[in-house]
Amino acid sequence: MGENMRAIGIERFGDTPELRELPVPEPAWGQVQVAIEAAAINPLDMAIASGSLRTLGEYRFPLTLGMDGAGTVTAIGGGITEYRVGDRVFGQFWSQPLEFGTFAEVCVVQEAPAFGALAAIPDDIPSQVAAALPTSGMTALGAIDHTHVPEGGTLLVIGATGGVGTFVVQTAAARGIKVIATASAHLADQVRGLGADEIVIRGEQPIEEALNKLAPDGVDAIIDAVGDHRITSAVATAVRDGGALLSTAFGLDQRLLDDSRIHTANYRLDRKPERLAELTRLATAGTIRPVIGTALSLQDGPAALTGGAGSIGLRGKTVLVVRHPA
């Protein structure tokens, strides 16, 4: 690996992420060093770069970005019990303090990340697939759990073609939940293939009007993965009394958060190690799979992060292929 590596990062909050050469980090006590094979982009990455999460934990600069990744353990620090050199691992690499992310050829991470989760990659899951699972997949599982929709219930998914939305549709369908999903016309068939029962074509008519026809008696819950306050406010009345309206994209305004008729929340990912373990089981069983819309090189990462080619607005997940496994 040499003494230096390529990494995408910032010198201070608010910087535009850049690809640069940095020294290869060495694992300290309680840390493992991972040769990253693939990493996935999330909105969380630019939230960290902007400084909007600066009060959450400690950060050290230069800060290498990237939360989701998969690779092979190449060295271990003292006190490590779970992993050995040569093990394949994946997860949300959110150590405390945060300094070394996954948008790099080498990362060091706590064996049990303070704000994230790490696990062994099942043998039959490729690194690109593993890297695309953690943050979006765990968020989808958590959001569905918090809605408490029963088997046979009805769930509306707003934004079913993004990273979180594609996982919500698959997981809900696997649990026997009827899924109504919003999607653009050219992606409607793809979302049906993920398990959606009904599609509301974006732009054809207001979602609330479509819901009146598709679910005249209302829905048990809504999960919003878009973050448009206007849309969430318009559809809230479609949720039955005692149901749930959750946003994974901070799409609920204060009026909705104060609503006592239904359970409302801007959901933030919780119980990460437990959710990563469940995600691993579901992926191993073939119950869910990430939709990888774009695969890019590490060199293309900065443009993807800032809205250029391969940005997070494309369908499914954007994955950075850092190196091909030996």
Residues 61-84 have a mean pLDDT of 98
> What would the pLDDT profile of 99-126 be if each residue is shown by its tens digit?
999 999 999 999 999 999 999 999 999 9
pLDDT, residue 247, reads 98
Residues 66-76 have a mean pLDDT of 98
pLDDT, residue 2, reads 55
> Over 70: is that where the pLDDT of 326 sits?
no
Residues 58-82 have a mean pLDDT of 98
| The two three-digit tokens of residue 240, written as one number | 């039955």
> What would the pLDDT profile of 169-178 be if each residue is shown by its tens digit?
999 999 999 9
DSSP E strands, the chain? 4-10, 18-23, 31-40, 63-64, 68-76, 88-92, 106-110, 117-120, 154-158, 178-183, 198-201, 219-224, 239-247, 263-266, 292-297, 317-321
- CA-closest candidate to residue 270, choices 171, 148, 135: 135
pLDDT, residue 20, reads 97
> What would the pLDDT profile of 219-267 be if each residue is shown by its tens digit?
999 999 999 999 999 999 999 999 999 999 999 999 999 999 999 999 9
Residues 186-204 have a mean pLDDT of 95
> What would the pLDDT profile of 276-312 be if each residue is shown by its tens digit?
999 999 999 999 999 999 999 999 999 999 986 444 4
Q: Where are the domains of the chain?
A: 4-121+291-321, 136-266
The CATH architecture to which 4-121+291-321 belongs is Alpha-Beta Complex (3.90)
Q: Tokens 């993965």 — which residue?
A: 225
Query: What span, in angstroms and rounded, lies between the C-alpha atoms of 68 and 102?
Result: 6
**Distance in angstroms between the alpha carbons of the first and the last residue of the chain:** 13
| The two three-digit tokens of residue 38, written as one number | 């693939």
Angle between helices 134-147 and 163-174 (to 10 degrees): 50
Query: What span, in angstroms and rounded, lies between the C-alpha atoms of 290 and 161?
Result: 11
Higher pLDDT, 73 or 323: 73
pLDDT, residue 324, reads 77
Tell me if 4-121+291-321 shares its fold with 136-266: no
Q: Which fold has domain 136-266?
A: Rossmann fold (3.40.50)
Residues 193-217 have a mean pLDDT of 96
User: Which segment of 56-70, 116-130, 261-275, 301-315 scores lowest on mean pLDDT?
Assistant: 301-315
- Percent of all residues in the chain with a pLDDT value above 90, rounded to a whole number: 94
